[in-house]
Chains A and B, each alone.
Chain A
Amino acid sequence: MFPRFHQTHHLLLATALMAMTGSYAEGQIPRAANGKPNLQGIWKATARAAYDLQDHAATLDMPAGKGVVVGGQIPYQPAAAAKKLQNYNNRKTADPVRSCFFPGVPRIMYMDFPFQVFQTPEHVAITFEWNLVHRLIYTDGKPAMHPSESWMGDSRGHWEGDTLVVKVTDVNDKTWFDMAGDFHSGALVVTERFTMLDADTIRYEAEIQDDKTYTKPWKISVPIIRQKDADRLYEYLCQAEVEEANGAFERDPITWYPPVGTPTKTPAFPAGAAQSVALPEPKTDPSFPRTADGKPNLTGYFQSDSGTANQGLEKHAKIEFTPATRGIVVDPSDRLLPYQPWARKDRDERAKPYRGYDDPTAHCYVAGVPRSMYVPSPFQILQPPGYIVILHERMAWRIIPLDGRKHISDSVRLWQGDSVGHWEGDVLVVETTNFNGKTWLNEFGDFVSHAEKVAERFIPVDSKKILYRATVSDPIVYSRPWTIEMPLNRENEELLEVACHEDNGDLQHLKDVRDDYRAKIKKETAK
Chain B
Amino acid sequence: MRFRNLATLAASLAFAAGTLLAHHSFTAEFDQNKPVKFTGKVIEMNWANPHAWICVEVMTDGKPVKWSLETGAANALIRRGWKRNDLPSGTVIVVDGWQARNGSNTANVNTVTFQDGRKLFAGSSNQALPTK
Contact = CB atoms under 8 A, between A and B. Distances in A.
B24 interface: yes
Given A359-B25, A496-B78, A310 B49 contact: no
A513 B101 CA distance: 7
Interface string B55-85: 0000000000000101001110011000110
B127 A323 contact: yes
Interface string A316-329: 00111111000000
A509 B31 CA distance: 12
A321 B24 contact: no
Interface in B24-54: 24-30, 32, 46-51, 53
B126 interface: yes
A19 to B, nearest CB: 37
B84 to A, nearest CB: 6
B19 interface: yes
A203 interface: no
Given A319-B27, A356-B25, A364-B23, A377 B50 contact: yes
Given A393-B75, A503-B46, A505-B48, A356 B29 contact: yes
A498 B26 contact: no
Contacts of A362: 23-25, 28
A160 B81 CA distance: 33
B27 A320 contact: yes
Interface string A198-230: 000000000000000000000000000000000
A141 interface: no
A479 to B, nearest CB: 26
Given A503-B46, A505-B68, A323 B27 contact: no
B23 A500 contact: yes
Given A394-B50, A443-B25, A512 B78 contact: no
A498 B50 contact: yes
B106 interface: yes
A276 B120 CA distance: 47
Size band of the interface chain B makes with A:
35 or more
A181 to B, nearest CB: 25
A506 B24 contact: yes
A357 B104 CA distance: 17
Given A148-B47, A148-B78, A498-B49, A506 B21 contact: no
Nearest to A365: B23
Interface string A324-356: 000000000000000000000000000111111
Contacts of B74: 148
Contact of A353 (B47, B78, B101, B126): B101
B111 interface: no
Nearest to B24: A362
B75 A356 contact: no
A375 interface: yes
Nearest to B79: A493
- Residue of B25, B27, B101, B106 with highest tally of chain A CB at under 10 A: B25
Given A376-B19, A500-B23, A509 B126 contact: no
B23 A394 contact: yes
A498 B49 CA distance: 5
Contacts of A356: 24-25, 27-29
B12 interface: no
Contacts of A508: 102
Contacts of B127: 318, 321, 323
B22 A376 contact: yes
B75 A498 contact: yes
Contacts of B23: 361-362, 364, 375, 394, 500, 506
Contact of A311 (B46, B106, B126): B126
Interface of A: 147-149, 308, 310-311, 318-323, 351-357, 359, 361-362, 364, 375-377, 393-394, 443-444, 493, 496-500, 503, 505-510, 512-513, 516
Given A361-B24, A394-B49, A505-B48, 14 more contacts: A308-B126, A311-B22, A321-B26, A321-B30, A321-B108, A356-B28, A362-B28, A375-B23, A376-B20, A497-B75, A503-B51, A505-B46, A510-B29, A513-B28
Interface of B: 19-30, 32, 46-51, 53, 68, 70, 73-75, 78-79, 83-84, 98, 100-102, 104, 106, 108, 125-128
15 contacts: A148-B83, A308-B126, A311-B126, A353-B28, A353-B29, A353-B101, A443-B28, A500-B23, A505-B68, A506-B70, A508-B102, A509-B101, A509-B106, A512-B101, A513-B29
